[in-house]
Structure 1
Amino acid sequence: MRFPWGPATVDDLPTVGDRIDAFGDAANSDSPGARLRMVREQARSFRREFPSTGTPDSVTTCDLVTLPYPTRFGLFRASRAIAPFLSITNRMLVIRWRDSAQRRRTLLFEPSDVELGRYTPYFADLSKRTPRVLERQVVREHGTVLGHLARLGIGPEEVDYLMFDHLHTQDLRRWVGTTVYQDDLESTPRAIFPNAKVIVQRDELAAMAELHPLQRPWYQPAAYRDVPAEAFLPIEGSVVLGPGVAVVKTPGHVFGNQSLVLNTSTGIWVSSENVIAAEALTPEHSRMPGLAAWAARWQQEVVLNANTIETTAEQYNSIIVEKTLADRSQTDPRFLQFFPSSELTGAWTNPGTRPTFSHGHITHGPSL
């Protein structure tokens, strides 16, 4: 399938932000164990330096949808819950800051088009096999991207950047527009966010041009065929976007995975889908069945979100980076200020998967 960026042109697209070589040396190490030691050391160094960049003006959390997700994926091999599914809540973060020229910048992190995301092969297949009456019980929509922005008084034209930790399930056609008519949408969508660019790792764009079978259930490649190339701002590695706002490359869950790192009034937060619960970074404190015992038995520091195991050792190492960067929660210091972009949510339908601790939201700066 041809993509607007194409394997030959991806390197010609523009970049954004100030690149930081936070973990570049570790990528060249020969063994995963050596890389783990190196990324831990380099993450500590970055953690010391990052607060000096400042803080954004505000961070606001917006709930989008709660939906079922296989327990064996979200809690890898650790859970002993009897429920085959758990629940996760997808949330969008709205981050605002002023650049060096005092221009207001707005980043939407995880602005999922929930309606079109349902057509991701895995979730479309799951929906077909789930009775409608049960689906209505386990899928709950909380709000839309545009609805949340209207509530916050932010016009679509004010949004500068869209960013996802990775592009699993994402269909961006309504957000960035298309170049030709779309049969399923019965239109040629004009960009709802006309001034926004999608920040994405070059690795992920390149990989989507020829998906591996392990990747196919989770992407919607046809949704990218007709989007304009100039809608993307590819980056290589890690960049500082603004005061207290950084993108850190965290490969493993997908080859081009990336995490959002924020310096706030409560310290450093990290957000991605590498794990689905804050306690997955400190499983020794988890009361969910199996997690603490499994982590102790196998000397595992973290519990992965493993729906795709593209490079498992790299994902583990990336989670250690996130664990090293995040400050401790002011609510319960046993847990870290890691905010899962898809956070484990307790539900009566999923016994044994209620989280010991959850953040629910991030509060920083004045209410918008």
Structure 2
Amino acid sequence: MRMPWHQGDVLDLASVGVRVDSLTDVSAIPGGPGARLTAIRTQAVAFRQEFLGTGTPDSVTTCDLVTLPYPTRFGLFRASRAIAPFLAITNRMLVIRWAESDGTPRVLLFEPSDVELGRYTPYFDKLVERTPDVVSKRVVTEHGTVVGHLSRLGIDPAEVDYLMFDHLHTQDLRRWIGTTTHQADLGGQPKPVFPRAKVIVQRDELAAMADLHPMQRPWYQPGAYRDVSPESFLPIDGSVVFGPGVAVVKTPGHVFGNQSLVLNTSTGVWVSSENVIAAECLTPEFSRMPGIARWAREWGQEIVLNANTIETTVDQYNSIILEKTLADRSQRDSRFAQFFPSSELTAAWTNPGTSPTFAHGAITHR
């Protein structure tokens, strides 16, 4: 399958923001993953100090999209002793606004998932086939759409500069960025909802999507990217500060090109990704969910990762430590970090034993 960004192609696109030099590629550090973990802790402290000096964005708004089931064995890895085979997660979009030094306004959408098209991800598509409609209606709740939320916020889609996801699992972007040819399943050739927006993505993930490994295939929709223009993507390498209090840091592991959003707000530094599904997974010793604290203690693990694809588990662990070191503690409960899962664990009566001890629910900054 030839993707628009085939490995032999050269993508000559404009750069964005300022590269973060204090967060270097630790893969070349001798001594193995333990040495890389030590280096990550040191680098995270250095970057955090630099980042605090960049200022804060104008606003951060949280928009709920959908609550849906997710396997417990994935979301809580090997730690949970809950009897429920599924837990519930809520996918949310963050709308971040800031101004450049020359006054130019910017709008970034983090996790603007097209929920309708995301259902055709191979894993979820098969799950839906096995689930009666009456059950699906009870366990899936749609809260709002990307376009609907923007309308409520008074943002014209033409004002959006950037779309960003921590990774492209489940994402189908054809309606957001348009296509180059007719799309039979969409009944035509969709014009882009976001005509000037660029999709910020790590170059490593684009390369991986050009030739998916069998362990990756259940979670991507590669066919949805055949007819999109490469000019719609803005590939980056590593970590970048976009604007005052807004950055992306590379956090490989969950996928090779995973990335996390970092925000400096009125309550301090937040980090957001899908590396874990609950804030307590960064401090499992405080979790009241069955098995979590005990598992972390017995195995000497300081985090509980989200592991639907175990591409490079050690790197994902190390990336979560980077996120944990960058984030401030919650002002509501200092036991938990200001880590905002892009898919956050949500209490549901259908899923006993998986109710979170603590949930953020939203990031709000004005």
TM-score (norm 2): 0.99
Check 1:93–1:10 CA distance in 2 against 1; reply closer, same or farther (3 A cut): farther
CA contact (8 A) 1:10 1:202 kept: no
Name 1:277's counterpart in structure 2.
278
Partner of 1:97: 98
CA contact (8 A) 1:10 1:206 kept: no
> Hey, what's the Cα distance between the residues in 1 that align with 2:362 and 2:46?
27
Aligned residue for 1:43?
44
Question: Offset at 1:228?
Answer: 0.6
Identity across aligned pairs (percent)? 76
Partner of 1:110: 111
Q: 2:263 matched to which residue of 1?
A: 262
Q: Which residue of 2 aligns with 1:295?
A: 296
User: Equivalent residue for 1:225?
Assistant: 226
1:359 alignment partner in structure 2 = 360
User: CA offset at residue 21 of structure 1?
Assistant: 2.3
C-alpha separation between the residues in 1 aligned to 2:147 and 2:22?
Answer: 34
* Structure 1: segments with no counterpart, 5+ residues: none
Give the structure 1 partner of residue 326 of structure 2.
325
Aligned partners of 1:14 and 1:234 also within 8 Å: no
Query: What secondary structure, in the 3-state scheme, does the structure 2 residue paired with 1:89 have?
Result: strand
Q: Helix, strand or coil: the match of 1:184? A: helix
> What amino acid does structure 2 have at the position aligned with 1:16?
V
Q: Higher mean Cα deviation, 2-11 or 78-87?
A: 2-11
The answer (yes or no) to whether the contact 1:10–1:205 under 8 Å persists in 2 is no
Equivalence for 1:68? 69
Deviation of 1:100 (Å) = 1.4
**TM-score, normalized by length of structure 1?**
0.98
Secondary structure at the counterpart of residue 363 of structure 2: coil
Q: What's the offset of the Cα at 1:10?
A: 4.3
Which whole-Å CA distance do the structure 2 matches of 1:49 and 1:291 have between them? Answer: 34
Tell me if the contact between 1:92 and 1:111 (Cα under 8 Å) persists in the aligned partners.
yes
Q: How far has the Cα of 1:25 moved from its partner?
A: 4.7
State how 1:149-160 maps to structure 2 within 5 Å.
149-160=150-161
Q: Taking structure 1 as reference, are residues 197 and 25 closer, same or farther at Cα in structure 2, changes over 3 Å only?
A: closer
Deviations 1:264-287, CA, capped at 9 Å, x for gaps: 000000000000000000000000
SS at match of 1:294: helix
Task: Report what 2:16 is aligned to.
Answer: 16
| Equivalent position amino acid for 2:12 in 1 | D
Instruction: Give 1:15's aligned amino acid.
Output: S
The 1-side partners of 2:180 and 2:25 are apart by 40
Q: Give the secondary-structure state (helix, strand or coil) at the position aligned to 2:223.
A: helix
Task: Kindly state the Cα deviation for residue 327 of structure 1 after the two structures are TM-superposed.
Answer: 0.0
Residue type at the aligned position of 1:269: W
**CA deviation map 1:306-345 (0-9, x unaligned):** 0000000000000000000000000000000000000000
Q: Secondary structure of 2:138's match?
A: helix
Distance in 1 between residues matched to 2:212 and 2:23, nearest whole Å: 26
In structure 2, how many angstroms separate the alpha carbons of the residues matched to 1:295 and 1:196?
Answer: 42
CA contact (8 A) 1:240 1:246 kept: yes
Is the 2:23–2:47 contact (alpha carbons within 8 Å) kept by the matching residues of 1? no
Correspondence for 2:5: 5
In structure 2, distance between residues paired with 1:119 and 1:311: 25
Amino acid at match of 1:144: T
Q: Deviations over 1:42-88 (max 9, x none)?
A: 00111111110000000000000000000000000000000000000
Partners of 1:21 and 1:237 within 8 A in 2: no
Alignment partner, residue 145 of structure 1? 146
**8 A contact 1:286–1:356 mirrored in 2:** yes
Counterpart AA for 2:311 = E
Between the aligned partners of 1:325 and 1:214, the Cα distance in structure 2 is: 30
Distance 1:156 1:200 in 2: 20
Q: Aligned partners of 2:10, 2:319: CA distance in 1, in Å?
A: 25
8 Å Cα contact 1:173-1:227 kept in structure 2: yes
Number of the residue aligned with 1:27: 27
User: 1:74·1:276 contact (CA, 8 Å) conserved in 2?
Assistant: yes
Q: For 1:282 and 1:154, locate their aligned partners in 2 and report how far apart those are by CA, in whole Å.
A: 37
